Structures are given as structure tokens and as C-alpha cells.
Structure 1
Amino acid sequence: MSHPSLSSEAPSGLLALDAESLYQALLAGIRPLCQEQTQLAGVTSGGVWLAERLHRDLGIAQPVNVLSSALHRDDFSQRGLSSSVQTALGFDVNGADVLILDDVLYTGRTIRAVINELFDYGRPARVRLAVLVDRGGRQLPIQADFASARLALPASRTLSLARSDDGHFHFDIREA
């Protein structure tokens, strides 16, 4: 039985993913995880895009919370400081219920880095993770509390969320 968000083969021979369908599954899947005090925090950049849209669709009035992995990456010496958006949290982390949002969960290293970043701001009561796609290939013992889809991709392929000018999501799948 095929997953409704996955289609057989794209013209390039790669699996095609319907990011919009996966977003709808994410929206439905995180509703039970979100309580009144739950703070959504998106990982730069795909996770922030998800958080922005979820804020709108869930009617959350507070500003979008952003977590950057830049300062806690274990490959910092090779990558340097990213010019991407930096961490911006509009809530007291101490005792907070935090739901981290990301587009693709792969090795677990980015999530480890953003959790370290989060703890630089305080000690949350609970931290959970929701992603659009869990692609396997974990190098650290990190797992999502909710994933819209799970699939295996070879290490030679990259998968990332992209956003068109009109705000619609799609995936960029490439040979590394």
C-alpha cells in the first residue's frame, strides 16, 4: 500500500514527495501535541517556514520562534558561522513545553545542535520534535515524536524543503 504523499517515480528516477500533502499531515499530527502553553520553534530554514505557516493555520498570535544550529554544530570548524537567521525565542525557556519543527530529519546532528542552543536559553520542562520527513540514516539517538512520512534515501541524495514565492512547499531532491 503506498503512502498518499509519495508518488512512484519522478522523471529523474527519484521518489517524488508531495510537500503540501505532508504539510497537511503535519498540521493534523501536531494538533494533539499542542497545548495552550506549547511553544513552536522552527529550525532554520525549512523548520522556520513550517512554523510560520503553522502559526497562521493554528491561529497563534505570538511571533515565530527560531532555533539556529550554527553555534553548536560539530562541523563548525569546516562550515564556519552561517549567515542564516539566528535564534530568536519570544518566550521564557525555563519550564516551557517546546515543540521543535524541522523539514527533514536525517543524521540527528542538527537537532542535537538546536537542543544545545535551546538549553543555552534555559531549562525547558519538555522538548518534542515534529518533522515533515524522517529519511532515516541516524547517527545519533534522536527520533521525531511525529513525522508526516518516513522513507529511506541513500546518503548520496540530499532532500530539503523549498518554498515558492507564493508560499507553497515542495522538495528539492538531488544527488549529493
Structure 2
Amino acid sequence: MTLDLDKALASMRAQLSAYCEQKSINDAIVVGIHTGGVWVAEQVMSAVPTTEPLATLDITFYRDDFTKAGLNPKVNQTLLPAIEDRHVILVDDVLMSGRTIRAAMNEIFDFGRPASITLAILYDLGQHELPIAADIVGERVTLNTDQRVKLTGPQPLGVSIIDTH
């Protein structure tokens, strides 16, 4: 199986544009989750009506597996403008269990109460452990249990399927 990154990004851009128009969302805050989500957000941000620069979120300390042995986090910077009563478009590269998104929403709410959060995902693997679903999906992918999607970048942005054995 091969993944068509350009097609998935184009699909996300089209869906984001239509979604914002349908929901009358103007001047949204686009938030990319470090690291892959930031790379994807940079690629799709042009489809969102906003004057805000790209915001970034590092969820390292919000993860529920942070204290597990062997986790050696590389912490990036969280940069969020005032989000109170604003529409947030949360972008990540892969939705698998939903735990990263849960952690991201917890962090966002620590900064304030947004009017809404829209979830935009490049690849949804359909292996959810939590009741979290994306509003915007570039591509739905079914993988074997020993496979993962690996995004590389930022320039050039690339994607592959890797074996975890």
C-alpha cells in the first residue's frame, strides 16, 4: 500500500474551506500539534479564513503515557493566542488511538474556553481507543497491527508506511 500525500492534503484543503464556509467560521485559530501536525497545518492553512499566524501545541506533558518508562520527550514550544470564544482548528498528522487529541484538547482548555474545536487529520487509521472522531480527514487508512504511518519533513514533506517489528 502506498499513500498519496498530495491527494490527502488537497482533500483536507477542500474540506476545510467548505467546512468554514458552511459553519460561517471566520478568523479561526489554526493549531498544529508538534511535530507532524504543525507540518500538515502549514500545508493546509491557506484554506482557512484567518488573519492569525499558525499556532503550535506541544502536548508532551499532557500525555497519559508521559510517566511510562523509556519515554524521553523532546519538548517543543506551545504558541497559542488568546482562544477564549474563538474557533480553533486543531490539526494533526495521524489519528490512531485518540490519546494525542485528548491531550491536546486538555491543553487548549488550560488556555481558555474556545467557541469550538474542529479536528482536522491527515490520516485516520480507525484504531480509536477513545470516542474521538475527526471533522476533516485527508484519507482513511487501514493498516496491519504492526504498521504505522510515518510523516517526515518539513521540507520536503513525505509519508511512508513503516513496520514496527
TM-score (norm 1): 0.82
Q: Of residues 77, 84, 90 in structure 2, which corresponds to 1:86?
A: 77
In structure 1, the partner of 2:110 is 120
Matched, 1:20 2:6: yes
What is the distance in 2 between the residues matched to 1:94 and 1:153?
Answer: 38
In structure 2, the partner of 1:106 is 96
RMSD over equivalenced CA pairs, Å: 1.9
Given residue 127 of structure 1, which amino acid in structure 2 is its aligned partner? I
Where does structure 2 lack aligned partners over 5 or more consecutive residues? none
What is the distance in 2 between the residues matched to 1:59 and 1:138?
Answer: 30
Contact 2:95 2:126 in 1 (8 A): yes
TM-score (norm 2): 0.87
- Assess, with a 3 A threshold, how the Cα gap between structure 1 residues 174 and 23 changes in structure 2: closer, same or farther: same
Contact 1:104 1:134 in 2 (8 A): yes
Contact 1:71 1:81 in 2 (8 A): no
Residue 77 of structure 1: how far off its partner (Å): 0.7
Matched, 1:49 2:39: yes
- Assess, with a 3 A threshold, how the Cα gap between structure 1 residues 77 and 53 changes in structure 2: closer, same or farther: same
Given residue 146 of structure 1, which amino acid in structure 2 is its aligned partner? I
Matched, 1:174 2:162: yes
What is the distance in 2 between the residues matched to 1:56 and 1:73?
Answer: 29
Show structure 1 runs of 4+ deviating over 4 A: 56-61
In structure 1, the partner of 2:18 is 32
Residue 82 of structure 1: how far off its partner (Å): 2.2
Secondary structure of the residue aligned to 1:128 is strand
Contact 1:136 1:152 in 2 (8 A): yes
Where does structure 1 lack aligned partners over 5 or more consecutive residues? 1-14
